[in-house]
Amino acid sequence: MTNDLFSYSTPVFARHLRILDDIVGIAERHANDQKIDAAALISARLYPDMFPFTGQVRAACGTAQRATARLLGLEPAEAADNDKTFEDMHQRIRGTVTFLFGFTEADFAGADQRTIDFPTGNGSTPLTARAYLATFALPNFYFHVATAYDILRHNGIPLGKRDYLRIGSEI
């Protein structure tokens, strides 16, 4: 029997962060090849009060890291907001993947019994671990990965859904 709190969290976060790492690499190569100022792309946003590309990548990593910590009953680490280059983003993503791979299914034994009480805009909202993962962490994680992709597409980076989904690849 699978432990869903594991099966739908760290392996899928890690898989999609590796996809995001490759998407960052595609943007990086395109900027180099086309002599585009990296900073123009890295700081691009869909609207002035939305996160820029760096912020979407940071939020995807942060959501994966905090969700994993909370499901395991650990205190989520604070992540600095200081990415300035493609390399900074690669390092953040790879560090998060390493963190995620530090846990196995056995670590999630009993996770379904946890209540997760996390800070939100309106104070805090206690949720069961499963509701937290299924209705907050996963939609929030994919929101930031998809919006990072959308920012690049909006700026003409040659990407397609195949790059976002990578169907059939385990990791």
Q: Which residues bind a second copy (CB under 8 A)?
A: 1-2, 4, 7-8, 11-12, 15-16, 46-47, 50, 112, 120-122, 125, 127, 130-131, 134-136, 138-140, 142-143, 145-147, 149-150, 153-154, 156, 161-162, 164-165, 167-168, 170
Contact call for residues 80 and 49 (beta carbons, < 8 A):
no
Q: How far is the CB of 86 from a second copy (least distance, A)?
A: 21
Tokens of 29: 């190569």
Question: Considering beta carbons, is residue 85 or 104 the nearer one to a second copy?
Answer: 104
Contact call for residues 49 and 59 (beta carbons, < 8 A):
no
Q: How far is the CB of 87 from a second copy (least distance, A)?
A: 26
Question: Considering beta carbons, is residue 88 or 103 the nearer one to a second copy?
Answer: 103
**For residues 66 and 77, what is the distance between their CA atoms, to the nearest angstrom?**
7
Question: Considering beta carbons, is residue 84 or 139 the nearer one to a second copy?
Answer: 139
The residue among 15, 53, 14 whose CA lies nearest residue 31 is 53
Q: How far is the CB of 8 from a second copy (least distance, A)?
A: 6
Q: How far is the CB of 15 from a second copy (least distance, A)?
A: 6
The owner of tokens 């993947």 is: 97
Question: Considering beta carbons, is residue 86 or 136 the nearer one to a second copy?
Answer: 136
Question: Considering beta carbons, is residue 35 or 121 the nearer one to a second copy?
Answer: 121
Contact call for residues 140 and 63 (beta carbons, < 8 A):
yes
Which spans in 2-126 are helix H?
A: 4-7, 10-33, 38-42, 53-71, 86-100
| φ/ψ of residue 126, rounded to 5 | -75, 135
Angle at 84 between CA 164 and CA 11, to 5 degrees: 35
Q: How far is the CB of 152 from a second copy (least distance, A)?
A: 10
